[in-house]
A and B are shown apart, each in its own frame.
Chain A
Amino acid sequence: MNVAQAQETNASASAELRRDEVEQLQQQLRQMQEKFEQREAEDHAAIAALQKQVELLAQKQVVVTNVVVGSEPTNTVSPGLFKELSDKVDNVVEAQKKTLPGEFNPALGFVGELVSSYHSQGANQTGSDRPGGFDFWARSLELNASASVDPFAKAWIVANASADATTGESTFGIEEAALQTTSLPGNLTLTAGRFFGEFGKLANIHDHELPFVNRPLVLDQYIGGESRSDGAQLNWLVPTEQYVSLTAGLGNNFGGDSPNPNNPGNYRPVGGLNFWGRASSYFDLTDNWQLEAGVSGLWNPKTQDRGGALVQPNGVSTMTEKERRLAGVDWKISYVPLRDNQFNSFTWGTEILFSDDNFLFDPNGLPGSGDEYFGDVNSLGLYSYVSYKWSRQWSAGFLFDYVQSAQNHDNETVAYSPFVTFALSHWNQLRLQYTHTDRSGSSGLRPDDALYLQWTWIIGAHSHGWTQR
């Protein structure tokens, strides 16, 4: 190798070395660039995540501003605002930490009802326990309480302090105190305690819930007013597309004003209990017209001289109830327009009852004298009413009453009652009613004209129950 060749070789080696260096540098540069791009991507991702977080917070802020209607929504959230909100939330949470001894108290409500009236005849000529002439009667002063007992039952109590006609004192009584299951299988509901048994449409609601001032005469005379009983009742909703409700019950007594319980103190056989039942169904005639109908029955095989010996108008002979049999059929046709039923509706309701009681007749009024005999008295009674509502506040209607005495079907009573109702609100209602009552001469009573002004009010818990629909 000569010098020239050596120089050329050195130059070539040197060039190669430089190329290697350049390549190395380029590689480093690429790596740095990749690292930079990777970091840039990470930073972008971090920025995007932060932006998303800010957007979410801003959305939450918009929702929060909904609480104050009319305030301008804002998309900025400052740390100060967060602290303020956080403090407010903490304060609210702290405020909830209270000791509430009454936390499990039931829902309470009170119903007041004043019936002011004028009767043209005195009590001895109307058979009423209210005096003739002018009268103010605090008829219903009801305290209601209800709550769940546990996951399986609910309970309620209705205590009524109605003013006594004779003394004027409010006598406190328990109208209802019952327990009802909420989760029995098979569409069954069991009610037990003191409650209003199912019979017809208007016997199992309270006075102040009636669509007119007084309970129809036939319900007063055949059932004893409200269908109160101490007993048990089972209801079955038949599992079909068609609404069918079946109810059966038994109890010591049936009827709030009835002499009860039957012959207290004596041994009561099964036949001494009252048995009742009801079947009802419902049909949508159109979207706006409804029909609800039912049949009911009550049987007390051994009344055990319920009410004692009833002295007849001749003042000598007596009759004593031995068996109580009552059947009823009822229907209600209603126009309830879907659109404006709060302002417009119509109802026609009718109930017909057949009483077939068995009595021990004693013509000379001397028990054991040998002239006694058993006999049935068949009698019939009904009421029918229409009611029309033409505004949220105003409605009016007419009630027709007809009843044959359950002891003597020749003794008939007929009554006609137009009424008008003004509801200031759901909880404050006035009703004016005129009633003309005609009675058979055999009753020993006289025709009567009466004017009623009923004022009903409710405070506290108030629910729209299924029975009162």
Chain B
Amino acid sequence: MKLKLFLATAISLVFATHVHAGKIRVVATLTDLADLTRNVGGEFVEVRSLATGIEDTHGVPMKPSFVPMLNRADLVVLVGFDCEHAFLPALLEASKNPRILVGKPGYVDCSKGVSPVDVPKSTDHSEGDVHPYGNPHYMLDPVLAESAVKTICDALVAAAPDHAADFVKNRDAYLAKLDAKISEWETALAPYKGTKFVSYHEHWPYFAARFGLVYYGTIELKPGVDPTPRHIENLIASMKADHIPLVVREPQFPEKVPALIAEKTGAKLVKLPIMPGGVPNSETYIAEMDYIVNTIATALKK
């Protein structure tokens, strides 16, 4: 009897991963994708995010506590373009969930349909920690975030066709809301078209292109490589010559060097989140973009 009970328990544990009740279990790598998924999936999804919002998009800690979460996931929603290369492949391997492996329907790569910028001509590491498929920070362009919304919706529809109408309705409602906000953000930044700025890491080319700003360069020497004293010196000199008015620091990078550059060049220093939750009052995608646009507009206001 005891043996039977033991075997029954063991078998149920082994196959427990394939049993789930009702909701589609989604794990998003970053908080922006989690927010978009919640908006589209509504009551039919249970969304968890690996990042809390304050992490570097490339430096989410590889916690073993993520493994059971991914093990039971129906979908993993990711930025793609190798954005999560430092943590997601190993976590997927450890999670032993064939449903969410690369190429499977549960692997939802939101870069689908996005035209990447800054695709390197060479993937040689002399250019730093380059992303072979191009810059992965397209979520800071709200129009490209709309593309992610559509990709997420398609994946949810495929996962639960019975709720297709609900997902499409939620998607359209959210896109309408986002469209209205995009117009608002474009209006807010319209006076600053052509304004050049620098940032610590190359997070902002998509954002700059969308709102007519000009991305001048990075404080990092190369992606993932800290600036050398000579690079800082050269950057300060060229920023002075070109009258660059704005230095952006992403919260996960140290303030010391950006503050020094801002001080030496007379540029305004602003701290901008790169995903929802990166700074207080930026817990949703729209709130995050509101924060970014308002902070830049306020900093550049004369």
Q: Which residues of A contact B (CB under 8 A)?
A: 63-67, 69-70, 182-189, 237-243, 245, 282-284, 287, 290, 292, 336, 338-343, 391-393, 424-427, 459, 463-466, 469
Contact = CB atoms under 8 A, between A and B. Distances in A.
B68 A66 contact: no
Nearest to B251: A339
B287 interface: no
Nearest to B124: A459
A238 B210 CA distance: 47
Nearest to B254: A343
Interface of B: 13-17, 51-52, 54-56, 59, 61-65, 67-68, 71-72, 85-87, 89-91, 93-96, 98, 101, 115, 117-118, 125, 128-129, 141, 205-206, 208-210, 214-215, 224-226, 251-254
Contacts of B61: 290, 336, 338, 341
Given A245-B64, A464-B85, 11 more contacts: A187-B96, A239-B13, A239-B14, A239-B71, A243-B68, A338-B51, A341-B61, A342-B59, A342-B252, A464-B90, A469-B62
Contacts of A237: 67-68, 71, 94-96
A70 B56 CA distance: 26
A464 B141 CA distance: 29
B253 A243 contact: no
Nearest to B54: A339
Q: Which of A65, A184, A282, A292 has the most CB of B within 10 A?
A: A282
A339 B206 CA distance: 23
Chain A at the B interface: mostly helix, strand, loop or mixed?
loop
A237 B96 CA distance: 8
Q: Which of B86, B94, B206 has the most CB of A within 10 A?
A: B94
Nearest to B101: A182
A243 B69 CA distance: 9
A424 B251 CA distance: 23
Nearest to B67: A243
A287 B54 CA distance: 11
B90 A469 contact: yes
A469 B198 CA distance: 33
Given A186-B14, A189-B96, A237-B94, A69 B254 contact: no
B221 to A, nearest CB: 10
B100 to A, nearest CB: 12
B119 to A, nearest CB: 9
Contacts of B85: 464
A153 B250 CA distance: 40
18 contacts: A66-B117, A66-B141, A66-B206, A66-B209, A70-B209, A70-B214, A187-B14, A239-B68, A243-B67, A243-B68, A282-B65, A283-B65, A341-B59, A425-B224, A425-B225, A426-B224, A464-B89, A464-B90
A340 B253 contact: yes
Q: Which of A189, A283, A342, A426 has the most CB of B within 10 A?
A: A342
Contacts of B94: 237, 466
Nearest to B91: A466
Nearest to B88: A464
Contacts of A63: 115
A189 B93 CA distance: 10
A393 B226 contact: yes
A66 to B, nearest CB: 5
Nearest to B95: A237
A466 B206 CA distance: 32
B63 A290 contact: yes
Nearest to A342: B59
Contacts of A65: 209
A69 B205 contact: yes
Contacts of A187: 14, 17, 71, 96
Contact of A69 (B17, B96, B117, B129): B117
B14 A427 contact: no
Given A239-B16, A466-B94, A469-B62, A69 B209 contact: yes
A238 to B, nearest CB: 7
A459 B215 contact: no
A292 B64 contact: yes
Contacts of A464: 62, 85-87, 89-90
Contacts of B225: 424-425
B96 A188 contact: yes
Given A187-B17, A425-B224, A426-B129, A69 B208 contact: yes
